[in-house]
Every structure is written in C-alpha cells, then in structure tokens.
Amino acid sequence: MTELELKFCVPDAALVSLRESLLARGARRVHLRAVYFDTACGALARQRLALRLRLEGRRWVQTLKAAGDGAVHRLEHEVVVRGSSRERPLLDPARHDGTEAGTRLVAALQAAGDPQLLEQHATDIWRLHCELLDADGCCVEAALDTGHVLASGRSAPIVEFELEHKGGPVLGLFTLAQACVRHGGLWQSTLTKAERGLRLRLADDPPRATKARAPQLAGEADGATLMRALLQSALEQVLANASELRPDAGNVEVVHQLRVGLRRLRVLLRELAPLAPGIDAAWAPVLSKVFSQLGEQRDHLAVAAAVRPLLQAAGAPLLDWQAPTAADPVLAVRAPEFQATLLAVQAMAHAGNEAYATFSPKAVRELVAARLRKLHRQVLRAGVRFEQLPVEEQHRARKQLKRLRYLADFTAPLWPMRTWQRCRRRLGVAQDALGLHQDVAVAAEAFRLQAETDPRAGFAAGWLQAHQAVTARASADALVRLKGVPVFWR
C-alpha cells in the first residue's frame, strides 16, 4: 500500500491548543513503543528503508516503509504479529514478501556484506489521534505524537503532528494542512522518526544538504505526467533542505541547496505554466521573497569566498567587507505564508489529470522545445553585447542562462541523450563564468560602500571594479561559444 502523509513540527505555543482541538473532535490516546532494525552497516537506511516492530496499545505490528514518488509519498506494508505486550515477537523480513517495499528490502539485504538485522534505536510515543472528514469526502487521520527517540543510552524529544490521507479527494489533505500552518505556526518536516533515531545513535546530527535528484521520467510523457514528475523532483529538494534548517547550526550548504531547489521550482512554474492552468500567480512573489532572504546570508559568504583569492593575489589590505545584516533563514522558511504556498504546490503535484491541461507527448516536446529555443536565443543575444550591457542586464542574462540550464536538465529525457552531455558542459562553463562576474560586481559594490567609513576598503573596490572588464570578457566568450554547441531540443 502507499502512504501520503504530511509531517509538521509543532512550536511550544501551539501545542496546548492543538491538543485541545483534537480532543474536541473525539481524539483517543494510544501508547506506541517501537524498535527499528537495520544491518550493522546501515544497508536499509542507505536505501531509504525503515523496518520496525511496534507495540500499538496491546498489539504488535511489523511495518516496512520505503521511499515513494515524492517527499511525502511512501510505500508502506504492515503485518499484525501475534505476541504478548510483555514480550516482543521475533522480527521476520519475509512477512513483507510479495510487496514492492519487500522487494526493495530483499535487494538491500542481498547487497549488504552482513545482512543480519540488529536493533538500532527505539521510540516511545503517546499518540493523540482522530479521523477528520471534510464536506467533499476527504478523510484524514490527524495525529499528535509526543515522546522520545532512544538510542545508545541517549534520548531526544519528539513533538510531531501528522496528517495522513485515508480516502476521498486528496486536495482536502493539503487544504487542512494549510489551515494548520496559517493558524498554528506549524512547519513541515520530512525528517522521519527512523532518521531521527539513526542520527541520535550515531551522535551525528549536523544539518544535511540534499542535492537535486533526477525526476522519474520516461521519454513519452504527456503534460500531466511530465509536470507531476518535475514538481515532485523540485519539491523533494526544497522540502528536504527546509527540514534541515535549525537555529544556531551550520546551514550554509543547506541554504545553498534549498535555494537551488527553489530556483528549479520557480523555473517550472514560470516556463511550463501552460501545462498547469491552476498555477496561482500569488505563489511567485512568496517563493521569490524567501529565495532572496536566503540569498542575503548565503551570497555574502559565497561572494567573499570567490573574490578573496583575487584580492589576496593583488595585495589588497582588506580581503573581506563587513557582512550586512541578513534575514534569519530559519524564520524565513518557517513563515506561515511560505509554508502554505509549498503545500499549495504539493497539492498540484498530487492532483489528478483534471488539474492539468491536455498535452500529448508530442505537444509536450513542442512546448518545451519552444521554451528552450527562446531562452537559448536570449542567452546568445546577450553574449554578443555582454560587455556593453549595464550590470542589471548582465545579471538578467545570468538568470536566463540558469533558467535554460535547469529547464534543459529537467526535460532532457524527452529527447535522445547523445548531444545532451556536451551541451550541459558548455552551459555549466558559461554559468560559472557569469557567476564569477556577478560575484565580482557584488563585492565591488560592497567594498565601495564600506570605503565611505573604512579607507582600507578603497583598494579592493577600485581593483574589483577594474577587474569586472576581465570577467565580463570571459562571460561574453563563454556565451558566444554556446552558439556552436549542438542542442538536443531541435
């Protein structure tokens, strides 16, 4: 069976009111005590599998979970196991034979050098849960989990709110979730209890950045199939990295990958809008605002790292400028408006074909090819006169190049791959060149402003301003060279 479930972290201020709201709807309490298993080398965790035995009240249930098509979709298979509440029954992986998740389990164990399954960590949870039914017939199980994860003699608290789709129109799940984040200040997290236990056991819990994974896409895809797959791919990266942001933690790479995911998502919503008429124009400014807020901190660090070696080689007396006050990335991502917008996009990603325009596979390729050709022409035109463009226009050309790169990455499986790798390499070279040019321009302006109060910054400001001619020339050359590269979308 499949599971569509949304998980949320609950701020302290919302915990009491959330508990009272569930009790008012007839919620019941149940004690859940679970033990999670894996091989000594973590073979299941590497394959995104979770295998547990859980005592639910007075009955034991063995459950296997595996990653599904997106960040909030999972494969799940449960088996009720005979046993006493006082004695844990034996684990038996064969109970999941014949299921898709079970097939993945067998493959993971066969690939492991030591396939013996060992107890890894445990959870002790009190769950307050009830079923909610909306006017359209959507049934959702709401559950508030409070308790602890236990591993290696250590424990960590768990306070989670879960909404699991049980039946009826799936839109109701996301509508309910939006109400929760708007009125309760909850924020979505894709971090599972199995992952929490693994990190606690390893005593290793730094923020972990997630890079983009290629969408699950066949060559012949109609409009709905294509858009759902691409949205799922972008959302998976966004949600995974947003879930890792924590106060007072090393978030630099996580913020970078979150911004990459947001840019990919924004490219989809902009360039492939004809495939999904339900795209709300209000989403774009919300996503753009958070993207910019995240960039305030990340860009300072990245730009400083890019220009520091140049200034050092030039003998500059000052290698860094004073960092501006940046928006808190944690607060930016947990803001109710942003969380509600992500849920609205997720609703579209899980909607049926009725939410999408009718595009045959051929029509999809024609649409995508037209978008790629337009972006390609814009980039080539910018390359011819790049050195004469104002800084703002140069930055616009860089954004067009990024849109071309991401859209090409997304949709390459729609065509034969023989020309894609060469095209991709050249696009990457051009993107790097324009990126360095933009970094130099940003740093030059930052040093110029600081020179008004700190004379040591004057040398760096002047040198970088002059150096922009060098990086502009390199950027123009990289863009012009794209003209001779075969493109796969013709």
In Å, how far are 27, 128, 186, 264, 297 from 133, measured between CA atoms? 13, 17, 21, 35, 43
Q: Which residues contact 50 (CB under 8 A, 6 or more apart)?
A: 36, 44, 63, 64, 65, 66, 192, 194
Question: Which residues in the chain are classed under CATH 1.40.20.10?
Answer: 252-484
CA 210 to chain centre: 7
- What phi and psi values does residue 150 have, to the nearest 5 degrees? -125, 130
| Residue 181 in tokens | 């984040």
| Each residue's pLDDT expressed in tens, for the chain with a length of 490 residues | 678 999 999 999 999 999 999 999 999 999 999 999 999 999 999 999 999 999 999 999 999 999 887 778 889 999 999 988 889 999 999 999 999 999 999 999 999 877 899 999 999 999 999 999 999 999 999 999 999 999 999 999 999 999 999 999 999 999 999 999 998 899 999 999 999 999 999 887 788 899 998 887 766 899 999 999 999 999 999 999 999 998 876 678 899 999 999 999 999 999 999 999 999 999 999 999 999 999 887 777 778 888 999 999 999 999 988 877 778 899 999 999 999 999 999 999 999 999 999 999 999 999 999 999 999 999 999 999 999 999 999 999 999 999 999 999 998 888 876 667 788 889 999 999 999 999 999 999 999 999 999 999 999 999 999 999 999 999 999 999 999 888 888 7
Measure the CA angle with vertex 470, ends 467 and 474; round to 5°. 145
DSSP state of 324: P
Measured between alpha carbons, how far is 173 from 367 in angstroms, rounded to an integer? 32
CB 386 within 8 A of CB 480: no
Q: Write out 383-444 in H/E/C secondary structure.
A: HHCHHHCCHHHHHHHHHHHHHHHHHHHHHHHHCCCCCHHHHHHHHHHHHHHHHHHHHHHHHH
CB 209 within 8 A of CB 244: yes
CATH topology of domain 252-484: CHAD domain (1.40.20)
Model pLDDT, residue 481: 92
- Write 177-180 long-range contacts (CB < 8 A, 24+): 177/6, 177/8, 177/343, 178/340, 178/343, 178/344, 180/8
CATH topology of domain 2-205: Hypothetical Protein Pfu-838710-001 (2.40.320)
Measured between alpha carbons, how far is 262 from 38 in angstroms, rounded to an integer? 33
In Å, how far are 106, 107, 108, 342 from 103, measured between CA atoms? 5, 6, 9, 32
Model pLDDT, residue 218: 67
Model pLDDT, residue 113: 79
- What phi and psi values does residue 419 have, to the nearest 5 degrees? -100, -5
Q: Which residues contact 84 (CB under 8 A, 6 or more apart)?
A: none
Measured between alpha carbons, how far is 37 from 49 in angstroms, rounded to an integer? 10
Q: How many CB atoms are closer than 10 A to CB 123?
A: 23
Closest among 45, 10, 64, 6 to 197, alpha carbons compared = 45
Secondary structure class of 352 (helix, strand, coil): coil
Measured between alpha carbons, how far is 75 from 231 in angstroms, rounded to an integer? 19
| Residue 371 in tokens | 């978008």
CB 207 within 8 A of CB 254: yes
Model pLDDT, residue 420: 76
Q: Which residues contact 131 (CB under 8 A, 6 or more apart)?
A: 139, 140, 141, 142, 166
Measured between alpha carbons, how far is 351 from 165 in angstroms, rounded to an integer? 13
Question: Which residues in the chain are classed under CATH 2.40.320.10?
Answer: 2-205
CB 274 within 8 A of CB 304: no
